[in-house]
Structure 1
Amino acid sequence: MELGYIVSGLFVGFVVGLTGVGGGSLMTPILIFGFGLSPLRAVGTDLLFAALTKIGGVWSHWHHHTIQWHIVGFLALGSIPSTLITLQILKTFQYHDQQLTYVINLILGIALILTALALSLKGWLINTIKANNSSKVVLIIRHLRSNQDFIMISTIVTGWVLGFIVTMSSIGAGALGSVALLYLYPNLYMNQLAATDIAHAVPLTIIAGLGHWHLGSVDTHILFNLLLGSLPGVFLGSRLSISIPDRAIQITLSTLLMLIGIKFIL
């Protein structure tokens, strides 16, 4: 069984290194469908798995001064209270197994489908936001982005939504967060966007993961074995990503996540 967890960690780490996303989106379904963990236990274990695998990324981006800390702060103003409230909700309904399993599966399915759509539409969104034309959509986007109060409130609300979704499903901190930031802060370079998203995802997943650990829904033995596989997997995936077309990776991952999401809902 330990070998199975190590291989799963290797696979998910490889995908993360290859695409930059997909950690929670793939690991939680694998733990549920592949190893028979309860949804609550799978989510809790994956949250700490995600936090520990992303810490190195924050250190690297911090060293290169690409993290926009004021944006991280606005996101955290929403996500941290949301996470704490969601953990309290989970604690209240922790022993209502059937109802809680249904709710978590539903949120998992929705989060996976939204992640698949976010990956598919990210390229289109980039082109639309940066389009040099006067179409109605572009004009509305430009008008909203010129209002700093709108940007600040929207960032806090984005953090709130991410806090709830991530705590309930362990999914969304990467793909959903990056698409929201892309809309709200189109002048950021892509490395700044990724750095800011990761810098927010780490404390979010740590707080949510520790909350799940307090609830008893983290399996530390499984977590250790997943990390044994994921660390070399991330390295291998990042090396191979240079030789594989981004579009092919994007289509494959989006399709896979969409199918898994539909399975959770049905």
Structure 2
Amino acid sequence: MDPALIAFGLGVGVLVGMTGIGGGSLMTPLLILVFGVQPVTAIGTDLAYGAVTKSVGGFKHWRQKTVDLKLSTWMALGSVPAAIGGVYVLEAIQRSAGKDFDDVLLTVLAGALLLCGVATLGRAVFLKHLDEKERQNGSSTPRARIAAVVMGVFVGFVLGVTSAGSGALIAVGLILLFRLVPRRVVGTDVFHAAILLWAAAAAHIVAGNVDFALAGTILLGSVPGVWLGSHWSVRVPVAALRTTLAVLLIGAGLALLIKAGLGIPTAALAAFPVAVAALLIGAVLRDRRVEKRLRESPLDAPLPSLGR
């Protein structure tokens, strides 16, 4: 039993409970880069431990009434079959790629992490004020239900292949498409992810991609971690935490690309922190302009409409 695995599980569990993000996106690259686990085993094991972890978090959020059950159900109608299909696509890639399979899978996983990192950074930097002012829109219209199913299909397939995406990608969709209030974004995200992860984990168990001893060790830390994080999610501001997560996800994606043998120019690696710093500075300046405009506006002026 590795204490480091338990500690990492605790930390990732807290992040998942607070933000809905970080399960597969952080633990899978940690297993590969730090603990030397084979990529396909890391993905399957991550999904298995993540199913239990997010079930705990989902139950906690459900008790706190921060879950849109109808929306979670519609998303699951698309995500569950897509995730199972993604696992079988992964098996097909393994058969066709042969000895190059690990490098191919690392590249695909890196792409998913970069996508999740960009989505998380975009939410933290560019959707901050929308996140603060969002209103519940739910899944009451046929168009909203179709959007939920389509979003579920996309995220489910990505998760089935890479174990990443159930948190970051769904969260952005919940804000842009359904305008849930912030606490319900996290709660609905975690609750839906629990359903999705059980389906994907079952498919990986059938495929023989799960190390149960490894998953059990991680769970010793992640279960109490997600319980604490879910409890803190309604009390702790998480905007800065999301930005940090985004940087970690993008950094992990770049590290996996290097491990896969893809040469990344030094200039590109150097440009990454510069670009992140520029985005953060721009966001701070924009926040100050918005605050100044709000101070100068009449107190009884109506808030601008967000539209549909």
Sort the TM-score into its range (normalised by shorter chain). Answer: 0.7 to 0.9
SS of alignment partner, residue 164 of structure 2:
coil
Partners of 1:17 and 1:80 lie apart in 2 by 22
Q: Does 1:121 align with 2:155?
A: no
TM (norm. structure 2) is 0.72
CA RMSD of aligned residues (A): 2.9
1:160 is paired with a residue of what secondary structure? helix
Q: 1:204 corresponds to which residue?
A: 196
User: In the alignment, which residue of structure 1 is the partner of 2:9?
Assistant: 9
After TM superposition, the structure 1 = structure 2 runs for residues 94-133 of structure 1, keeping only pairs within 5 Å, are: 94-95=94-95, 96-123=97-124, 124-128=126-130
Residue 165 (1) aligns with residue 158 (2)? yes
1:62 CA drift (Å): 2.6
| Higher normalized contact order (CA 8 Å, seq sep 6+, divided by chain length) | 1
**Separation in 2 of the partners of 1:157 and 1:215?**
26
Give me the whole-angstrom Cα distance separating, in 1, the residues matched to 2:89 and 2:176.
31
The question of 1:66 aligning with 2:66 is answered yes
- Aligned match of 2:277: none
Q: Which runs of 5+ in 2 are unaligned?
A: 263-308
Counterpart Cα distance in 1 of 2:211 and 2:141: 43
Q: Secondary structure at the match of 2:21?
A: coil
Percent of residue pairs bearing the same amino acid type? 37
- Cα drift, residue 241 of structure 1: 7.7
For 2:185, which of 193, 212, 222 is the aligned residue? 193
CA distance in 1, matches of 2:74, 2:235: 37
Answer with 69-78 or 5-14: which moved more. Answer: 5-14
Question: Taking structure 1 as reference, are residues 247 and 154 closer, same or farther at Cα in structure 2, changes over 3 Å only?
Answer: closer
Judging changes above 3 Å, is the alpha-carbon distance between structure 1 residues 214 and 36 closer, same or farther for their aligned structure 2 residues? Answer: same
1:39·1:101 contact (CA, 8 Å) conserved in 2?
yes
Q: Is the 8 A contact 1:129 1:183 kept in 2?
A: no
Describe the shift of the 1:78–1:48 C-alpha distance in structure 2 as closer, same or farther (beyond 3 A).
Answer: same
* Counterparts of 2:113 and 2:207, CA distance in 1: 24
- Aligned residue number for residue 148 of structure 2: 155
TM-score where L is the length of structure 1: 0.82
Question: Which structure has the highest helix share of the two?
Answer: 1
Q: Which residue of 1 aligns with 2:247?
A: 255
Larger Rg belongs to = 2
- Give the letter for the 2:173 counterpart: A
Task: In structure 1, give the amino acid aligned to 2:99.
Answer: Q
